[in-house]
Structure 1
Amino acid sequence: MISRQVQLADDPLWYKDAIIYQLHVRSFFDSNNDGIGDFQGLAQKLDYLEDLGVNVVWLLPFYPSPLKDDGYDIASYSGIHPFYGTMEDFTKFLKKAHYRGIRVITELVINHTSDNHPWFQLARRSPKGSKLRNYYVWSDTPEKYKGVRIIFKDFETSNWTYDAIAESYYWHRFYSHQPDLNYESKDVRKAVLRFLDMWMDKGVDGLRLDAIPYLYEQEGTSCENLPQTHTFLKQLRAHIDKNYSNRVLLAEANQWPEQVVPYFGDDDECHMALHFPIMPRLFMAIRMENHFPIVDILNQTPAIPKNSQWAMFLRNHDELTLEMVTDRDRDYMYQVYARDRAMRINLGIRRRLAPLLENDRKQIELMNCLLFSMPGTPIIYYGDEIGMGDNIFLGDRNGIRTPMQWSADRNAGFSKANPQQLFLPITLDPQYHYEAVNVQNQQSNQNSLLWWMKHLINLRKRFKAFGRGSIKFLNVKNPKILAFLREYDNEKILILANLAGSVQYVQLEIPEYKGMTPLELFGQTELPCITESPYLFTLGAYGFYWFQLYEKPAEVIQTIPQRSLPTFRLEGYWENLIKDKNKQRLERIIFDYIKYCGWFRGKGIGVERLEIIESFRIPDNKDIFHIVLFEIEYSNSVIERYILPAGYTSSHANLPEAAVIAKLTSTKNLEGFIYDAIYSDTFLLSFLNFTANKRDQRGIKGRLITSALKRFPTNDILHISVENREEEQVTVTFGQKYSMKIYRWLEPGISPELEISDYLTSKKFAHIMQVRSSLQYSVFNEENTALGIIYDYVPNQGSIWQYTLNYLMKNYEAAGKQIANFQKIPSEPGYFFDILNAQPPVFVQEFFQLYSEQMQLLAQRTAKLHTILSMSDEQAFKPEPFTDFHKYSQYQSVYSLIRETIRLLDNRLSQLPPDIREQGRIIMHSEKDIISRFKAIRDRHISAMRIRIHGNYNLGKILYTGKDFIITGFEGQYGHSLSERRNKMSPLRDAANMLRSIHYASFFSTFNIPRSGFPLAVEQIVPVQNLWYLWTCAAFVSSYLNHSKDMPFMPKDSEELKELLRCYLLERTFIELQNELKNRPEWARVPFEGILQIIRKTK
């Protein structure tokens, strides 16, 4: 073993105080002018790294490799790729780094090799069962380990690939050219230790263990995080501790925090682990302008052993991974950071830090401030310290692996080779061009990002609290401010960060630090002493403070003002509404109008931009209507699209005030009013005719396209009725012939309602309105956007919700005559699972028998719906198992929902009616118990399959024909993203949603009793109400289970079924509670009772 350099401190915990700089040898500096970086070039740039202040360099793989995966496809563990130099070059570089006090971490990619590796070449040619063959994982069938997720879905369709030479399938968790090693083989484990010793003997200070959750495979598992992996890691760590000092193992486990913590063991596995889930949430927080994502994930992160350490990062050589976020959060991140699909890869975003943050210096500084103050060791990705750009048009992740930009010279000073000889082209994007963004320019400017980063690094290195201290989040009422303390021994650092793009203030109540003085560390400014009174801070846009603390001496109700009608001056004729200057004028008018519209979702959010992006003209015999599509970008970077049909009228006497957009004057003597044409029956009929006649129309950028297979008649429609004109979805009924749904809020992508309705229509499912046609907006290089769907109308008596309310009122009157019988039964409702196979009391049957039979029929139709949705081989409908990945994602989503709702409940408790506040307190105190139920589901094997479901199943979505039911509204949970609504779920979610709807109906039915002259008081009706709810739920669930019990989407185990249904009921009830707390607190009593009923009855 080589002797250690004296410049390296003899500290086994050196990694806790480290600043790690991650780089690829080939990307850093080319010393021999062949267009590829090398070790000699890296050694020449060590002075730069020393000046920057980093004390650890993490090198990406530099071993011999075909380079199909940037070196992670290793062909030999014992050499240096010729592109990068020789082993002697590496050894010299290592000595020079140690001389400067810089340690070196390299990669040990032990999960897989390249298919060019001699081991694999020998294995594929060796007999089955032989020692050499068993270096890898083989199977005669690709059915083994079924259900294990495919990680690189963009590139691979299976984890098995057939090898013609071996006449067998080999296992790979990543690319098919990277076969996985077989760790059941003792020879493989010995070989790995042999090469580990080789690099440790050369003096490397640490090894990053790539993809370690996947080392072992086991049938019936997810093949991730298996106990065998931890056994092997303990052996690996023990070997290192016995033979080497001051070395570190860094785990790469892209998993949820509680899945990663076991990789530390009891300080006897890996020393460090990358914290993947925190990284996307830092980016989410700054776009949402809310500290919750950061606080939430760190609160979920379990405590780690004393000598272990998290590794924190903003960006690295891979995509900004979104595996460890919920589906909804992933869609949000795509929307605000990667609207262009070229920016996405696998489940992530392939962009550098500066382009992600739109090259905003304030945001870049804030993100680095957060990175450096988080509990763990920060990692800087090469080039991010100068704000380098990327190139999304390069393949794979190469766009963020381009040459380091050293100067404004040719090839950015990286190489003197012919520019076409470079391994990747340099960045020429005007905003990040190497002539402007380079080390030389920034070294000469002390106000540059590079100098600021040097200051930040040196400041962090002064305080051990950042690397070794505890973290304590402060409870602040302003969610746009993140406030926390880092403490270690006598060091106390207060960190404040404004996540918003506007000035914010915060009051901190920190009486426990009374008498201490805050010293602002960047400017060394001393602030007044802390007292028992709240301490007020004001922070500028994306501002932050680091303070060293040392000893020295009613809710606002927003009202919408009365709108004054603006005047729109039109240049030319009505046909020219969005041409030339008219377009900009109309944009200003629309901006003013939508603030008063019920269908506009962005009230209270700052709007950065409103732009008309498209317009179509729908002609009528007399009028011309314009369908205007406009786009809004909010201050939090979210972009939404809306449709606004615009009509012209000379008089608005017959229009409601909400319909009138503006007064109209014209250079062609046209005067009158512009109005929302949704309020015009003429427009609605013209819209229908346009679709019925299969007309396509070109607009500014795209086309309106219809999906009707053939034309359908519209000439005998005598009556038009419209529902929900002021809402995001408008429903229009044309006589007894057609029903049309028009979407005001638009989302590019496959509409779940259209997709499922089309599918059910093709399967001839009789209990829906059959799809007649659809209208979509199509533009090049974007997914189609659904504007409307037309169905064949089915005569009905309205929704089952209204039918239920009427039914209950009539039966309450009859039940009043036998109220004594009802009052003998306890008023608190029971749990329907306890009476699934029981018979209700005779007097209960007398009153509710008819409705129970109707619920049994509805449950039967529901089971049939789910059965049809589960019987398809189409990818969009094909059933899928409950994988660990899915379960963790769902758990994370529910966990966040519960935590947010409990926090909201705590803030709003005093505003609730006094008689239900105690219920609220009980629920708050039950938070851990509630979360534990979901955790139990997450951790258990689920035998059922996931399928496409309705997604928002309730009494209001079911139409009653007088004899049977029509199911409508397959759009899912409106407000969620399209991809989230298209996810495959347990159909028990639909059942849970229906049960919650029944509960709401039972409460709503008594709402008008005090004002209706009803002979009994509400309190007297409660026993009837509770019994109806209990037996109705039992009737629905019993019938549903009977008609779906043998289907693959149903759990095989009854306890599993009950637990799933309880959890889905709880999840739905928390969604309801959050909505009620925000909108009508007096109705919180309904979800309160629903939650308490479950947690009390199912302890």
Structure 2
Amino acid sequence: MTRIDSTTATATAPAPLSTGALVHAGPGEAPEWWRDAVIYQVYPRSFADGDGDGVGDLPGVTSKLDHLAELGVDAVWLSPFYRSPQKDAGYDVADYRDVDPLFGTLADFDELLAQAHARGVRVVVDLVPNHTSDQHAWFQAALAAPEGSPERARYVFRDGKGERGELPPNNWQSIFGGPAWTRVTAGAGARPVTGAEGETPGQWYLHLFDSSQPDLDWTNPEVREEFEQVLRFWLDKGVDGFRVDVAHGMVKADGLPDWDGTVSMVEGTADDETDPGAPEDGSTGAGNSGPMFDQDGVHEIYRSWHRVLAEYDGDRALVAEAWVEPLSRLARYVRPDEMHQAFNFSFLTTAWSAAPLRTVIAASLRANDEVGAPTTWVLSNHDVVRHASRLGLADPGLRPNGIFAHDPQPDEELGLRRARAATLLMLGLPGSSYLYQGEELGLPEHTALPDDVREDPAFFRTQGAEAGRDGCRVPLPWHADAPGYGFGPTGRTWLPQPESYARYAADAQRGVEGSTYETYRAALATRRAERLGSGTLAWVEDYSDSADVVAFRNRDVVVLANLGTEPVVLPRGVEVLVASGPVLTDRSAVPQSRVPSDTTVWLRAL
């Protein structure tokens, strides 16, 4: 049995925890809200349905704002709700200044914003600047105009290679599978080439994602000016910030050179945590590389956006979705005159093992300290397998793009136990944190979706080789006994929910001691009361080299995660503030507690 003790401690009385050198100096009292905020991601089509059509909407979100306020989050991030053909769940935007009728109206958005602010909850909206929908007025104008026109110059149109231009301009592949180029017919009034008799093939256009998502050309001043105006449109409405989609992909290398690598939603494979040569910079293989990503030119864009946000009161924020490694490269996105947060995907993709977790935490804090920025922690979102399932896989370091029913299945109980422990570890760290809707309920990935209900373009473009992201996007369960688990008034849901959702429903957990929901509430309340987000981190020396335990001190709280197979014995009389699972405590006058496997506790520092 592992004990927290020093060389002078006895077996019956473990010594107080001793902490080592400070790793993170922290920003003090975090005057800007985003430095230590807990932000909750709402995926609108799956959060709550207000009109009964089976698809979540903005009135549905408004109806559940009390849930978010009671949970204790500081802000909500809304995934795209703009006008869109919905070829990629709204990440194919046709109009950046309007709400898609599927989700409601601009008036509905205004009401949501007002009601959120009335509850002290800030609102961050998604911005998709790398590409538009092929139904966007600009792209339709580009097809209608001839080669070399100003309309086509807003996008990446190029002549093909080969004698007749029959080959794509380069060998890039789409993140969703297949070529990253689509050819259109020649001249004005172009349309995608079908091979029909009489067609005259013309230029090709670039799409790093689906063919319905043409990439914009960010070397074009008109594109830059348009998006600054889009920012102002939503800032004038009162939004508190923007999550920027594919923030590392807007600028491509000059000349669009060939590249023999591959791209995916989550790059690479998990590092072998036993490898003594594992990177000390926290890299996990999560970075997107290649000439289409992390080009230096993106930083001038964000400097200009920073200046736009600075015109407005209230510490408006920009957060980068940038799959970039090493962490020193990611930190460049949050320099003082650029963005304010950048998702730490290296942390998300780190294996459930003590040494790699310590490495990525320390490397993250060092890299961000260099530029005076907070670290932005995250474990789940709408693009990855939920961590309650990911951590239940036989290899908890795997990062599949979805899980099929015929794949090896996660251990649901083990995954949830580890997920709760991982979340409590994350929320104890200094900086900001993001939660993905439903994780406060402990929702697992839906791994048995029929192929005929799937909508993710990654499933179709890979000819079914990848399950895709639908499994983490299933509508939430609000009421255990209601049709559709209370997702909407009719019981309809755009994706089917698994039967297991009944036991995860919000009403089945609210007020139930030890439930995942109540554990999240307790953690968020304690995090706020102890000011952990704006705190400091020092490793507990007793476990600086442990293969089983991650332990650190943040202000007056010790965070200890037991990733091993044996319980960890705590000093007698220690005060447990929050625990991710049951802690075994004896009945003596000065009680002694044991932290079981895959459990995290917050302790009052001695």
**Same fold flag (TM > 0.5):** yes
Q: Which amino acid aligns with 2:101?
A: P
What is the aligned partner in structure 2 of residue 399 from structure 1? 471
Distance 2:404 2:151 in 1: 38
- Whether 2:557 is the aligned partner of 1:522: answer no
Whether the 8 Å CA contact 1:106–1:207 is kept in 2: the answer is yes
- Whether 2:117 is the aligned partner of 1:103: answer no
Distance 1:350 1:214 in 2: 29
What is the aligned partner in structure 2 of residue 187 from structure 1? 222
- Whether 2:69 is the aligned partner of 1:50: answer yes
Distance 1:446 1:505 in 2: 23
- Whether 2:80 is the aligned partner of 1:24: answer no
Distance 2:298 2:523 in 1: 38
1:244–1:171 Cα change, 3 Å: farther
Cα distance per residue 1:885-913 (max 9 Å; x no partner): xxxxxxxxxxxxxxxxxxxxxxxxxxxxx
Q: Which amino acid aligns with 1:315?
A: S
1:315–1:332 Cα change, 3 Å: closer
Whether the 8 Å CA contact 2:294–2:324 is kept in 1: the answer is no
Q: Secondary structure at the match of 1:213?
A: coil
Q: Which amino acid aligns with 1:437?
A: Y
Q: Secondary structure at the match of 2:434?
A: strand
Q: Which amino acid aligns with 2:556?
A: K
1:68–1:334 Cα change, 3 Å: farther
What is the aligned partner in structure 1 of residue 139 from structure 2? 120
Distance 1:139 1:387 in 2: 47
What is the aligned partner in structure 1 of residue 395 from structure 2? 336
1:382 to 421, 437, 443: 437
2:501 to 433, 438, 458: 433
1:411 to 472, 479, 484: 484
1:702-851 aligned at under 5 Å gives the runs none
Cα distance per residue 1:451-470 (max 9 Å; x no partner): 12111111111122334434
Distance 1:151 1:370 in 2: 35
Could you tell me how far 1:363 is from its partner in structure 2? 2.3
What is the aligned partner in structure 2 of residue 228 from structure 1? 297
- Whether 2:321 is the aligned partner of 1:258: answer no
Distance 2:143 2:340 in 1: 36
Distance 2:575 2:404 in 1: 39
Structure number with higher relative contact order (C-alpha < 8 Å, ≥ 6 residues apart): 2
- Whether 2:81 is the aligned partner of 1:62: answer yes
Task: State the aligned residue count.
Answer: 486
Q: Which amino acid aligns with 2:105?
A: T
Distance 1:116 1:501 in 2: 54
Q: Secondary structure at the match of 2:96?
A: coil
Q: Secondary structure at the match of 2:98?
A: coil
Q: Secondary structure at the match of 2:578?
A: coil
Q: Secondary structure at the match of 1:69?
A: coil
1:500–1:200 Cα change, 3 Å: same
1:300 to 343, 356, 363: 363
1:433–1:180 Cα change, 3 Å: same
1:471–1:260 Cα change, 3 Å: farther
What is the aligned partner in structure 2 of residue 314 from structure 1? 379
Could you tell me how far 1:321 is from its partner in structure 2? 10
1:332–1:88 Cα change, 3 Å: closer
Whether the 8 Å CA contact 1:481–1:506 is kept in 2: the answer is no
What is the aligned partner in structure 2 of residue 461 from structure 1? 528
Distance 1:445 1:314 in 2: 24
Could you tell me how far 1:445 is from its partner in structure 2? 2.3
Whether the 8 Å CA contact 1:389–1:427 is kept in 2: the answer is no
Could you tell me how far 1:147 is from its partner in structure 2? 6.1
Distance 1:274 1:161 in 2: 31
Name whichever structure is richer in helix by fraction: 1
Q: Which has the larger radius of gyration?
A: 1
What is the aligned partner in structure 2 of residue 587 from structure 1? none
Distance 2:305 2:403 in 1: 33
What is the aligned partner in structure 1 of residue 105 from structure 2? 86
Q: State percent identity of aligned pairs.
A: 29
Name the Cα RMSD after superposition.
3.1
- Whether 2:583 is the aligned partner of 1:548: answer no
Could you tell me how far 1:137 is from its partner in structure 2? 0.5
Whether the 8 Å CA contact 2:394–2:410 is kept in 1: the answer is no
Cα distance per residue 1:193-240 (max 9 Å; x no partner): 111100011011010011011111223471221121111111111121
Could you tell me how far 1:12 is from its partner in structure 2? 5.5
Whether the 8 Å CA contact 2:36–2:433 is kept in 1: the answer is no
Q: Secondary structure at the match of 1:82?
A: coil
What is the aligned partner in structure 2 of residue 494 from structure 1? 558
Distance 1:172 1:465 in 2: 42
Distance 1:544 1:389 in 2: 20
1:390–1:87 Cα change, 3 Å: same
Could you tell me how far 1:362 is from its partner in structure 2? 3.3
Whether the 8 Å CA contact 1:494–1:546 is kept in 2: the answer is yes
Q: Secondary structure at the match of 2:177?
A: coil
Gaps of 5+ in 1: 1-9, 323-330, 508-516, 528-535, 551-1099
Distance 1:244 1:387 in 2: 37
Q: Which amino acid aligns with 1:241?
A: A
Q: Secondary structure at the match of 2:41?
A: strand
What is the aligned partner in structure 1 of residue 154 from structure 2? 135
Distance 2:391 2:314 in 1: 45
Could you tell me how far 1:145 is from its partner in structure 2? 7.3
Distance 2:487 2:136 in 1: 31
Cα distance per residue 1:607-638 (max 9 Å; x no partner): xxxxxxxxxxxxxxxxxxxxxxxxxxxxxxxx
Gaps of 5+ in 2: 1-28, 162-166, 192-201, 258-289, 457-468, 586-591
Q: Secondary structure at the match of 1:522?
A: strand
Cα distance per residue 1:706-755 (max 9 Å; x no partner): xxxxxxxxxxxxxxxxxxxxxxxxxxxxxxxxxxxxxxxxxxxxxxxxxx
Q: Which amino acid aligns with 1:236?
A: W
Q: Which amino acid aligns with 1:543?
A: T
- Whether 2:342 is the aligned partner of 1:273: answer yes
Q: Which amino acid aligns with 1:186?
A: P
Q: Which amino acid aligns with 1:398?
A: D
Cα distance per residue 1:833-892 (max 9 Å; x no partner): xxxxxxxxxxxxxxxxxxxxxxxxxxxxxxxxxxxxxxxxxxxxxxxxxxxxxxxxxxxx
Q: Which amino acid aligns with 2:473?
A: R
1:156–1:449 Cα change, 3 Å: closer
Distance 1:251 1:471 in 2: 27
What is the aligned partner in structure 1 of residue 212 from structure 2? 177
Cα distance per residue 1:416-446 (max 9 Å; x no partner): 2263xx3222222xxx232x22111111423
Cα distance per residue 1:159-203 (max 9 Å; x no partner): 222122262111121222211111111001000011110001101
Q: Which amino acid aligns with 2:97?
A: S
What is the aligned partner in structure 1 of residue 282 from structure 2? none
1:36 to 52, 55, 71: 55
Distance 1:350 1:377 in 2: 33
1:314–1:424 Cα change, 3 Å: same
Cα distance per residue 1:923-954 (max 9 Å; x no partner): xxxxxxxxxxxxxxxxxxxxxxxxxxxxxxxx
What is the aligned partner in structure 2 of residue 988 from structure 1? none
What is the aligned partner in structure 1 of residue 92 from structure 2? 73
1:642-657 aligned at under 5 Å gives the runs none
Q: Secondary structure at the match of 2:148?
A: coil
What is the aligned partner in structure 1 of residue 281 from structure 2? none
Could you tell me how far 1:33 is from its partner in structure 2? 1.6
Distance 1:398 1:332 in 2: 18
Could you tell me how far 1:64 is from its partner in structure 2? 0.9
Q: Secondary structure at the match of 2:561?
A: strand
Could you tell me how far 1:117 is from its partner in structure 2? 1.0
